[in-house]
């Protein structure tokens, strides 16, 4: 929207041309979404409290969590709202990549919202069934994949790129749709599993998104892309606006979500944030870099899969409790220590992912 205004006004005020630069708009997108969260989150949290939309706590988990019962959840609507307004204001709304990432995020937010609604407002303890949730996620994941495949202007947009290798580019063909579904739905559920401690999921999401924003900016610039030997993807640089909006909203949300949390994301937040990073990674063709940088989400998911599989086979458990963060708590780590140490791990992994830009 700001670009339309600038194109109209820059004839009279030449200085407004600065808003045509991606970096400038990205900076303002981050600041704008951050400000929106800080301004409106307190009132939204109060509304959630008044509607008694509080978190249910498992009795078989760490007993220190029982005091969190009733803490407002569904706070993901704060993040989604701030991102959406920021993208609408600062993004180039003619860019189809921006629409794909944004609408996919909104679609998965809708799945999470419905799930939260049934659990917390309708008081149906399980919300959407696993089958219903999977069908909706599959529908939206395949929809995003089809849109990307049909709208691809270059073959590079559907090739598989391996980090740390100069010229490894694999044509996926029709397998691209399955690959996108796997990454987007897998990322969505992985973040959902990780979102179990105060602030544990949101900061890694911010860090990974910021790094993917760097990839988007570089991939959308032909000079940077050729120098770094990464695929040049015309128009994909605009994704940095969405990334910046998410980073700003995520940091703002962390203000209220850090230990002890005043509000939780709920499924509306975790499912959508996971889908967002998965879709961004697909668009910038850095799925394996996401696997590295999102190592925390991968470890949490694997811990659940191992726990369930091993228990079915032996009726014994590998971990004291899954996901991994609960196991660490039951090993005696205080919750803040678990959170901060896993944040540190994510920082290291994100730096490793960024290193792939030069180590080829």
pLDDT tens readout for residues 150-160: 988 888 888 99
Please report the pLDDT score of residue 24 as a whole number. Answer: 94
DSSP for residue 155: G
What is the arithmetic mean of pLDDT over 24-33?
97
**C-alpha 360: how far from its chain's center?**
27
CA dist 64 → 79, 125, 195, 229 (Å): 27, 22, 16, 49
CA dist 296 → 187, 200, 275 (Å): 11, 10, 16
CA dist 203 → 6, 123, 199, 227, 309 (Å): 33, 30, 7, 31, 30
Give yes or no for a contact between 232 and 224, defined as CB atoms under 8 angstroms apart. Answer: no
Q: Report which of residues 50 and 53 the model is more confident about.
A: 50
Question: Given pLDDT bands bounded at 50, 70 and 90, which one contains residue 56?
Answer: low
Phi, psi values for residue 22, rounded to 5°: -60, -45
**pLDDT score of 79 more than 80:** yes
pLDDT tens column, 294-312: 999 999 999 999 999 999 9
**SS3 for 54?**
strand
On the 0-12 / 13-18 / 19+ scale of CB atoms within 10 A, 57 is middle
The pTM score is 0.94
Please state the domain extents for the chain: 22-287
**SS3 for 114?**
helix
**Percent of the chain residues past pLDDT 90, beyond the cut:** 73
On the 0-12 / 13-18 / 19+ scale of CB atoms within 10 A, 329 is buried
Question: Given pLDDT bands bounded at 50, 70 and 90, which one contains residue 58?
Answer: low
């Amino acid at each position: 929207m700001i670009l339309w205004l600038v194109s109209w006004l820059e004839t009279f005020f030449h200085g407004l041309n600065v808003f045509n630069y991606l970096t400038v708009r990205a900076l303002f997108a981050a600041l704008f979404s951050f400000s929106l969260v800080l301004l409106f989150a307190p009132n939204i949290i109060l509304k959630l409290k008044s509607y008694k939309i509080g978190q249910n706590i498992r009795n078989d988990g760490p007993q220190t969590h029982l005091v969190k019962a009733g803490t407002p959840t569904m706070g993901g609507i704060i993040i989604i709202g701030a991102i959406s307004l920021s993208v609408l204001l600062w993004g180039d709304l003619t860019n189809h990549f921006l629409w794909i990432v944004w609408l996919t995020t909104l679609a998965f937010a809708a799945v999470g919202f419905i799930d939260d609604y049934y659990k917390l407002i309708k008081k149906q303890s399980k919300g959407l069934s696993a089958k219903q949730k999977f069908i909706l996620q599959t529908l939206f994941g395949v929809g995003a994949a089809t849109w990307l495949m049909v709208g691809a202007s270059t073959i590079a947009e559907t090739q598989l790129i391996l980090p740390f290798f100069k010229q490894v580019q694999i044509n996926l063909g029709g397998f691209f749709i399955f690959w996108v579904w796997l990454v987007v739905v897998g990322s969505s559920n992985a973040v959902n599993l990780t979102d179990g401690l105060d602030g544990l999921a949101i900061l890694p999401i911010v860090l990974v998104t910021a790094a993917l924003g760097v990839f988007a900016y570089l991939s959308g610039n032909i000079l940077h892309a050729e120098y770094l030997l990464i695929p040049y993807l015309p128009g994909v640089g605009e994704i940095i606006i969405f990334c910046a909006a998410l980073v700003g909203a995520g940091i703002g949300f962390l203000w209220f979500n850090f230990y002890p949390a005043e509000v939780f994301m709920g499924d509306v937040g975790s499912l959508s944030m996971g889908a967002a990073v998965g879709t961004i990674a697909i668009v910038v063709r850095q799925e394996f870099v996401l696997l590295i940088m999102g190592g925390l989400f991968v470890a949490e998911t694997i811990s659940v899969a191992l726990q369930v599989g091993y228990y079915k086979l032996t009726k014994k458990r590998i971990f004291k409790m899954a996901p991994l963060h609960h196991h660490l708590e039951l090993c005696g780590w205080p919750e803040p220590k678990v959170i901060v140490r896993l944040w540190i791990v994510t920082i290291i992994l994100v730096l490793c992912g960024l290193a792939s830009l030069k180590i080829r």
